[in-house]
Structure 1
Amino acid sequence: MELNLRKSYIAWSSIFAIAPFFLWGTAMVAMKGVIPNTTPLFMAGVRLLPAGLLVLLIAIGLGRPQPNSWRAWLWIGIFALLDGTMFQGFLAEGLVRTGAGLGSVIIDSQPLAVALMSSWLFGEVIGLWGWLGLGLGMIGISLIGLPDEWFIHLFQGQTISFSFSWLGLFDSGEWLMFLASLSMAVGTVTIRMVSRHADPIVATGWHMVLGGLPLFLGSALWESNQWTQIHLEGWLSLTYATVFGSAIAYGIFFYLASKSNLTSLSSLTFLTPVFALTFGNLFLAEVLSPLQWLGVCLTLVSIYLINQREKLAQQLEKLGSSKSLVQPTTNQ
């Protein structure tokens, strides 16, 4: 009986941990048809502020305590700036300036930054298997998101040309997506400090509300026709992205980030493009190439290596110890 309960607990814990990345991936599929009919800052604000209000209502219903010190509000403000305004703003602006595949690769590279910062700030051990997993994860999401032609040219020894200009840096979608990735990585690490002074679920709700206000302000100042071309299907997609892709996903993610190993949790971000591709294939008839399937496989292997890195290291150490205990016999 106890063994069955433990297995059930592990299964539900795994589903709970994977849920944010499933919701983010499916939300990206839902948003694909809306992006051409709206403006980036308005879209970012819609995904953030209403979702934050929903999280706060749920927190009040659960009896979660509200922030009651200036330190709590200071950390929530920093959290809101980093993971709210900056992440969503850079992400939305980057999406309209770069391809979805390349943008996804850049965004989903943030586990590398989280691993480095977690190792430095909190002493989390990455180890050989962890670094190997992170490397395979980067290769995997690159195969998923980047054009197949790039890899074909690379295998054939041909060069790939890139254009770059410092003057047009902030017009570069790739640079904006990199800033979004870095903002989310720093925000993920920041939740550890936030949770020392405030309830993590309440802090998540407030950071979405406070982070969404500047996005709506920027939209009012610099954008026009934000919603005039959005039809019913588009509003339904925005609603899904707001409720499931933001409120529920961020609530679960930052609750887990306040308590669990950040390197292991963040590595699950590699699943986001896998879910996006899978549901894009199911609902939008998008076809995966052989290289993308290889990327999916490498991504899954990378997540296993990162999350099992301590067990793998212990098994390798035991194997080495057992071999050293076996003394070779010699003929007298």
Structure 2
Amino acid sequence: MQLKLSAFRLPFAPLLLIAPFFLWGTAMVAMKGVIPHTTPLFMAGVRLLPAGVLILIVAALMDRSQPQGWAAWLWITLFALVDGTLFQGFLAEGLVRTSAGLGSVMIDSQPLAVALLSLWLFQEHIGFWGWLGLGLGVTGISLIGLPDEWILHFFDSGVNATVGNWQDLFASGEWLMLLAALSMAVGTVLIRFVCKYTDPVTATGWHMIIGGLPLWGISSVLESQQWQNLVAADWIALSYATIFGSAIAYGLFFYFASSGSLTSLSSLTFLTPVFALLFGNLFLSEVLSSLQWTGVFLTLISIYLINQRDTLSGKQNIASVEENTTTQQPTVLEASAKKSNPVTLSLRESEPEISP
């Protein structure tokens, strides 16, 4: 994979990469029954604020450094407003106004935006196989999330016959899901700049707290009956979404996003609707259609193509040299030219170490 895990030296290290998307998918299943009993902005704040506190407690136990200086707090605040307030706010409001299937397709299409931003800002190599994988991924999640009748009607009647349907959908709230996807994409890229000034784990915790406060503030003014209708099962679902779907999932995701290939990491977002669909089938007796199974298959192929794009194109060595040049780390050639000082060899930026 493009994401390097050799520094972990753990047999289950690849599972850590998949964990955020597994937790997000299962959290969506857990939240399905909560949404009718609460308000969107309050629910968004619950997913952020307590989770941020938990992350900071873990960061303190791990002896992670706290942000220092105005530059660090400026980047964290920007990160919080984009990925915290805007993303969670648009997502929560969009879930209320749109169907779960279409909303999932739109929110999980953000790897395309991440790929474009990474190509522009960090010159990440994508290539033919990468773009093919991204296309298959969007196709796969569309087959998973969109109603079968929409897809069949599209092929029966053509593009022009469905334009009116899409216009009606965007008038109802899908544009909020699109804004949420773009906010998450920008937030994924911003973590690279944040980590130039502070630790990624503590930055994630603070950004969730700072980003959650405006959500609760707006909720207190515009919303009512935020928690009065919640029952014990709803609080259990909220707790799962907060601890596992936010604190652990976002902590891992942004830790990985602070280094390595953003395109490869973001492509794993395509797994989120797959997990949501599979666990919906397991716990809610939701039946998968043949088109949805086809979407699952295409999604898995897309992730393989994106993460193996350099190997498939035969440009793995070239990509490694370009990555070393971009991160300004010593290459093998430079190390061999400095035989008198062999300790200049170091792990690349894409091989993070977890502090004990």
TM-score normalised by the chain length of structure 2? 0.84
Could you tell me how far 1:316 is from its partner in structure 2? 11
Could you tell me how far 1:78 is from its partner in structure 2? 0.4
**Alignment match, 1:325:** none
Dislocated runs of 4+, deviation >4 Å: 8-11
Query: Is the counterpart of residue 91 in structure 1 residue 91 in structure 2?
Result: yes
SS at match of 1:89: helix
SS at match of 1:172: helix
**Alignment match, 1:216:** 216
Question: Pairwise mapping of residues 16-165 of structure 1 onto structure 2 (< 5 A)?
Answer: 16-158=16-158, 159-160=161-162, 161-162=164-165, 164=167
Could you tell me how far 1:219 is from its partner in structure 2? 0.5
Could you tell me how far 1:10 is from its partner in structure 2? 7.1
Aligned AA for 1:138? V
Aligned AA for 2:46? V
Could you tell me how far 1:164 is from its partner in structure 2? 3.6
Query: Is the counterpart of residue 291 in structure 1 residue 294 in structure 2?
Result: no
2: CA distance, partners of 1:255 / 1:111: 17
Q: Structure 1, residues 87-113: CA drift from partner, whole Å, max 9, x if none?
A: 000000000000000000000000000
Question: Pairwise mapping of residues 296-311 of structure 1 onto structure 2 (< 5 A)?
Answer: 296-311=296-311
Q: Which moved more, 1:96-105 or 1:308-317?
A: 308-317
Query: Is the counterpart of residue 196 in structure 1 residue 196 in structure 2?
Result: yes
Question: How many residues were matched structurally?
Answer: 308
Which structure 1 segments of 5+ residues have no match?
1-5, 318-332
**Alignment match, 1:175:** 175
CA contact (8 A) 2:51 2:242 kept: yes
1: CA distance, partners of 2:203 / 2:315: 39
1: CA distance, partners of 2:315 / 2:57: 46
Could you tell me how far 1:13 is from its partner in structure 2? 2.3
CA contact (8 A) 2:310 2:316 kept: no
2: CA distance, partners of 1:316 / 1:290: 36
2: CA distance, partners of 1:96 / 1:232: 22
2: CA distance, partners of 1:32 / 1:163: 24
SS at match of 1:226: coil
Aligned AA for 1:136? L
1: CA distance, partners of 2:285 / 2:190: 39
2: CA distance, partners of 1:9 / 1:300: 25
Q: Structure 1, residues 109-147: CA drift from partner, whole Å, max 9, x if none?
A: 000000000011001000000000000000000000001
Aligned AA for 1:162? N
Aligned AA for 1:276? A
TM-score normalised by the chain length of structure 1? 0.90
Which structure 2 segments of 5+ residues have no match?
1-5, 318-356
Aligned AA for 1:35? I
SS at match of 1:66: coil
2: CA distance, partners of 1:11 / 1:146: 37
1: CA distance, partners of 2:292 / 2:49: 35
**Alignment match, 1:245:** 245
2: CA distance, partners of 1:120 / 1:315: 19
